[in-house]
Amino acid sequence: MATVSLVTLAGCKKKAGGSDSLAKMEGFQKSMCECKDKACADKVNADMAAWGTEMSKTADKNAKPDPDMAKKSADVMTKYSECMTKLMMAGAGDMKGGGDMGSAKTPPPDQGSATPPPAAGSAAAKEPHKALEALTKVPAKATTAKVGQMAWVLRGTAFDSPDSFRVDVDEVTAIDGNTVTTRPVALMASGPDSWKHKPNPDERPYAGLPGLLVIPARTVEEVKPKVGDIVWAYIGNTTTPELTHVKAVEGGIVTYEVPNAMKDKLEEKKTDLIEPYGKGVAPFTMVAYTEGTDTKTMTVLAISGDKVFGYEFGGKLVEQKKSAVKPLTPVFKDRKVGDKVFVVGEAKPEEIKEILVPKELFKTGVFTRTWIELFDKATP
């Protein structure tokens, strides 16, 4: 299903229920700013994403945004992002680089069974996290990663919430048959290794992970990307890797850009861990599949027999038959006003009304689209 810009939806005052949408966004912003830990922030993010998806089903794509309403909604989302960023930087949740996990507070009652991580140095802090129940049902298969190697892994979060997933790069610390134990890594913030990821012995490990979903990670020096290549970039402070294109390569570090939360400009980031976009139905590609009347996308991590395993928005594990998915090939290219483009699951094309950032961000009616969302032909 196509992702909708919440700011543009709220900005359509008359036809998209702008006032109601703005009030709803203000509620999400208030909830985010009241969060004390990452489990809470994850839930608010998931709730807002689900609401945005429902809104997109009935939005009038030809409606013109109300400038005043659009500005108000942008201000709300700016505050939302600021609160979320402060929470992450404070060390809550799965932060990299040695955040004080002992300072995390107990989640509010609406966080279900999520529990705060134990204080650093306590006996409980040394006990591995158990694999989420959904991961225990993945077919038994040995990993190709080695002990001591960094690997992509789909696992739970520091709060052990049963419905919270992450796709991270961890250090493999033990292999027991078809299951693996991994440990989060740290992102160097300064010095000669700035922007590089290193093992972090202070992190609490994750045990019982299915070997099928523990995939050797590669550094920029191993991949040897070129400027313009489409890659998955690992940065550590996002729930899943970011699909992007290489802006620059220097000293074993890739520089890339992604849209900010408002989808009105780009943010520059750097990393030493990337994976090229694959071909066809293969690891590190996106595929489309249907669920009821909806068309959804997933990122493939592994294939076993006739089954494809990967994750959807937010990192949640997805399993589909290989025959039920169709490969998607993102295209990073120049587009112009008036071009007809397609988004996943939509049979009718949208027309580009405005170019916000060349090749990167486009307006199609009330929607702000990233290049990743746009295709030249109708997708499955």
Residue 95 has what pLDDT?
Answer: 39
Residue 53's identity, in one-letter code, is: T
Residue 70 sits at the vertex; the CA angle it makes with 268 and 4, to the nearest 5 degrees, is 65
Domain ranges of the chain: 6-89, 101-216, 220-276, 286-328, 331-380
**DSSP-derived pairing of the beta strands 274-276 and 286-291:** unpaired
pLDDT digits (tens), the chain, 380 positions: 333 345 555 555 444 455 677 778 888 888 888 787 777 787 788 788 878 777 766 666 556 666 677 777 777 887 787 777 666 655 433 434 433 333 323 333 334 445 555 555 555 557 999 999 999 999 999 999 999 999 999 999 888 888 889 999 999 999 999 999 999 999 887 788 888 999 999 999 999 999 999 999 999 999 999 999 999 999 887 889 999 999 999 999 999 999 887 788 899 999 999 999 999 999 999 999 998 888 899 999 999 999 999 999 888 999 999 999 999 999 999 999 999 999 987 888 999 999 999 999 999 988 899 999 999 988 76
Q: Is 301 exposed, middle or buried (0-12, 13-18, 19+ CB in 10 A)?
A: buried
Q: Distance from first CA to last CA of the chain, Å, rounded?
A: 11
Cα separation, 307 vs 152, whole angstroms: 19
Cα separation, 10 vs 7, whole angstroms: 5
Residue 87 has what pLDDT?
Answer: 66
Residue 290 sits at the vertex; the CA angle it makes with 285 and 296, to the nearest 5 degrees, is 50
Residue 133 has what pLDDT?
Answer: 94
Helix (H) or strand (E) holding 364: strand 361-364
pTM of the predicted model as reported, rounded to 2 decimal places: 0.72
Adjacent-strand bridge partners of 269? 256
Residue 10 has what pLDDT?
Answer: 54
Residue 163 has what pLDDT?
Answer: 85
Residue 60 has what pLDDT?
Answer: 62
Q: Name, in order, each residue with C-beta under 8 angstroms of 71's C-beta and a sequence gap of 6 or more.
A: none
Tokens 């599949």 belong to which residue?
289
Cα separation, 244 vs 263, whole angstroms: 15
Q: Is 238 exposed, middle or buried (0-12, 13-18, 19+ CB in 10 A)?
A: middle
Q: Is 149 exposed, middle or buried (0-12, 13-18, 19+ CB in 10 A)?
A: middle
Residue 330 has what pLDDT?
Answer: 92
Q: Between helices 67-89 and 18-34, what is the axis angle to 10°?
A: 10
Q: Is there a contact between 203 and 187 (Cβ–Cβ < 8 Å)? A: no
Q: Name, in order, each residue with C-beta under 8 angstroms of 134's C-beta and a sequence gap of 6 or more.
A: 317
Cα separation, 94 vs 56, whole angstroms: 31
The three-state DSSP-derived secondary structure of 160-173 is: CCCCCCEEEEEEEE
**H and E: helices and strands count for the chain:** 6, 21
Tokens of 101: 């996990």
Q: What are phi and psi of 216, to 5 degrees?
A: -50, 130
